[in-house]
Structure 1
């Protein structure tokens, strides 16, 4: 299964700034059910395509939806900043799936 959605890049200020894109609530619930066997500590491993960049990461649960972390290398490669709306495609799976 694959999910595609648009979302705004947000900054989560903690000890160090992190950037995320929130997955819609309905898609998050669907993904949680579909990826049940992959979930560890609430996180879901995924393969993500954002623009021309493909990368692996894990989605974090937060407030009833999943957040997609955006590494600096991905943001720089795609010219993405806080407040930008980006199109994301992802599918659950561990490396080698």
Structure 2
């Protein structure tokens, strides 16, 4: 299992203002791409994410504009961890597939 650790700023998706993400850095994104897997919708990759003390299962998605994967951070996580737009989030990702 591949485990990645990084810190990234929380940002709001302009097309859907209720959606927030962190960008997986270039090195971590490259490591995710290296893991062989069956194709999934939208190029998504299943992960177990941890931000602070909160963990959940979700997917990361490739973002061509950023040249990296992005991790959606749901409202319950943002509230539990006291995160707002622009705040740095300490993230641990475990690639599940």
TM over 0.5: yes
Q: 1:93 to 1:79 in 2, by over 3 A?
A: same
Look up the match of 1:50. 51
Say what the alpha-carbon RMSD is for the aligned residues: 1.4
TM-score normalised by L of structure 1:
0.88
Shift of 1:39: 4.5
Q: Secondary structure of the equivalent of 2:46? A: strand
Q: Which residue of 2 aligns with 1:33?
A: 34
TM-score, normalised via structure 2 length: 0.88
- C-alpha distance after superposition, 1:7-66 (max 9, x if no partner): 0000002244210000011210111112x3155120000001111101011001003200
Instruction: Give the drift of 1:83.
Output: 0.3
1:23 maps to which residue? 24
Separation (CA, whole Å) in 1 of partners of 2:8 and 2:47: 17
**Distance in 2 separating the partners of 1:69 and 1:76:** 14
Paired residues, number = 93
Query: Is there any run of 5+ residues in structure 1 with no aligned partner, and where?
Result: none
Aligned residue number for residue 82 of structure 2? 79
Aligned counterparts of 1:39 and 1:90: Cα–Cα separation in 2: 19
Ranges in structure 2 where 5+ consecutive residues have no aligned partner: none
- Say whether residues 1:14 and 2:15 are aligned partners: yes
The verdict on how the C-alpha distance between 1:72 and 1:26 changes in structure 2, with shifts beyond 3 A counting, is same
